[in-house]
Structure 1
Amino acid sequence: MRRVRYESTGGPLFMEEAPVPEPGPGELLVRCAAAGVTLPVVRKVTEAAEPIALGGELAGEVVAVGEGVSRFRAGDLVTGMCFGHGYADFAVLNEAMTSPVPEGADALDAVALVRSGLVAYGALEAARLAPGESVLVTAAASGVGHLAVQLARARGARRVIGAVSDPAKADFVRSLGADDCIQYGDDSWGDPVDCVLDAVGGDLLTPALAALAPHGRLVAYSSGGGTIQAYDLLVGAKSVIGFQMALIARGRPELYEQWRQELWRLFAEGAVKPAVHGEFALEEAAQAHAVIETRANLGKVVLRP
């Protein structure tokens, strides 16, 4: 089979031939139909001390199952998280981290919706967004952000604002249901909001916190780091909440499943429509990474083996 990998930090991605893996106990072998390209993986390629396997969310058809697998069989269309090599013709998924793709949806829908949608849904849960409240979403055109905008609207937000790095993304963000779209460098981010969902971090945390109304909540789910001054929290009785999807998936699988079912329900009703920025062949993995690195994407970036 074909597989994409690299040999040194920041090194070029290249194609190689590799044996088709065999599923172990509790594992599924899947013929990859779509694999998501995410900022955390792109960052690891450029920053991690040692090369990593290029994994992440993927979807495809089950071709074989390992010992003890009871929920799936060959021919099923599934989606899940791959912690090994996912930029490949075939990949191995753990049964516990895999779910079926319902009728009426395909592999592309699943990769664009499930993992990114779960992060967006979980961030809104962490923010305790109530109907009638206002929310600002940073990286609003990203794979997670564009779903967060739609989910906030579906949950009854009174006002939804998208924040982006490039004004060229504004029309896309408004088409998702945002009332307005601002740029990170704007002098003012408009009227204060009840919640901010931040996927950027770094220097953006300060204006994100300033955008909150008194008693507002900032949910940070970025891997970009950053620092907040305690005084900036005290003067407005504001809160900062950290959110990580992996802790929910590992520690509260019943909640993870509940959120997943709700995502598919909203998808079936047309309340949430995942957008795909581009479909890239395996040979084009470097171009797909470049789209993420330059923040050029409008929605999800996907590899199509």
Structure 2
Amino acid sequence: MLRMRHEVDGGPEVLFAEEVERPGAGAGQVLVRVEAVGVTLPTVRKVREGGGPVSFGGEIAGEVVALGAGVTGLGVGDRVTGLCIADAYAEFAVLHAAMASPIPDGATAVEAVALVRSGLVARGAYEAARVEPGESVLVTAAASGVGTLALQHAKAGGAARVVAAVSSAGKADFVRGLGADEVVLYEDADWGAPYDVILDGVGGDLLGRAVRALATGGRLVAFSSGGGTVEAYELLVRGASMIGFQMRAIAAGRPELYGRWLSELWQMRDAGVLRTAVHEEIPLVDAARAHTLIEQRRNLGKVVLVP
């Protein structure tokens, strides 16, 4: 089978394809014939900064072709999606059965990888902020896979003002089409502050500026892999708070909540409240181009690899 790899750190140019034996499903695992892989910013960053070869993890969707020992509730032929910890950029991938969730009839694999993981992060960040109807919400990285769904969660939750922060003016019409009332650029001197809630998917140097854009009593939820530091004084003078959110902590520590959010995502999709935005479906062997799109912040929505 085909699998994408890299042996040294660097940009997208270090990715290469290799032919390897198809893996087997171990105890508690399923083997999936991959139909779609969601490309994420953390994975792109790991290739450039990971300190050595990194096995590509990621969201996958496809058909179960083999079951490992002890797997119940799934069968060969089932269509599932889930977070694959290693070797996700491949024609066949091993998925822990506990991480596999069914894809409803009528939904495509591409739609599943665009909705589920990104949607869970967006939902979790929104819930962590405890947004009240009538409040103002700023979403950074608003044109990303997570950001597009976070915008829609804010609109559906009754926020009075939803503002999208993006890297370029060329993304303005796109995020407005997903419900943004206003659009600001990272480089703008005025972000239209203050905001009751900021959902930050960028981190880094932008994090401090986001804190300074909070209203009195505002809440900032940081869910990116970009790091960053915040001066405690900036929170103190606003009576504001900062909350860190990671989906893995919910999946491991509160599986009942994870399951409820997952079910509600598909319900919201069926009701037309949430819709996925896919920038492009890119052949697996062209994964370097997918990474380039994300590194250069040119994607409008989710970037998906298709074996």
TM-score higher than 0.5 here?
A: yes
Q: Shift in Å at residue 28 of structure 1? A: 0.5
Which residue number in structure 1 is paired with residue 4 of structure 2? 4
Look up the SS of the partner of 1:272 in the other structure: coil
Q: Deviations over 1:23-45 (max 9, x none)?
A: 01111100000000000000001
Which contiguous aligned blocks of 4+ residues in structure 1 show a shift greater than 6 angstroms? none
Q: Deviations over 1:188-239 (max 9, x none)?
A: 1114211000011111112211221100000011111111111111111010
Look up the SS of the partner of 1:116 in the other structure: helix
**Is 2:74 aligned against 1:72?**
yes
Which residue number in structure 2 is paired with residue 257 of structure 1? 259
2:104 partner amino acid:
P
Which residue number in structure 1 is paired with residue 235 of structure 2? 233
Q: Shift in Å at residue 104 of structure 1? A: 2.2
Look up the SS of the partner of 1:202 in the other structure: coil
Q: Deviations over 1:103-142 (max 9, x none)?
A: 2211111000000010000000110112221100000000
Which residue number in structure 1 is paired with residue 27 of structure 2? 25
Q: TM-score, normalised by structure 1?
A: 0.98
Cα separation, 1, equivalents of 2:17 and 2:52:
18
1:1-305 alignment to 2 at 5 Å? 1-10=1-10, 12-305=14-307
Percent identical among aligned pairs is 61
2:102 partner amino acid:
P
Give the stretch that moved more between structures: 206-215 or 117-126.
Answer: 206-215
Cα separation, 1, equivalents of 2:73 and 2:158:
35
1:69 partner amino acid:
V
Look up the SS of the partner of 1:144 in the other structure: helix
Q: Deviations over 1:52-82 (max 9, x none)?
A: 1112100000111111111110111100011
Instruction: Say how many residue pairs are matched.
Output: 305
Look up the SS of the partner of 2:242 in the other structure: strand
1:141 partner amino acid:
A
Look up the SS of the partner of 2:61 in the other structure: strand
Q: Deviations over 1:129-182 (max 9, x none)?
A: 122211000000001001100111111111100000111001101000110000
Q: TM-score, normalised by structure 2?
A: 0.98
Cα separation, 2, equivalents of 1:185 and 1:84:
36
Structure 2 unaligned blocks of 5 or more = none
Cα separation, 1, equivalents of 2:200 and 2:57:
24
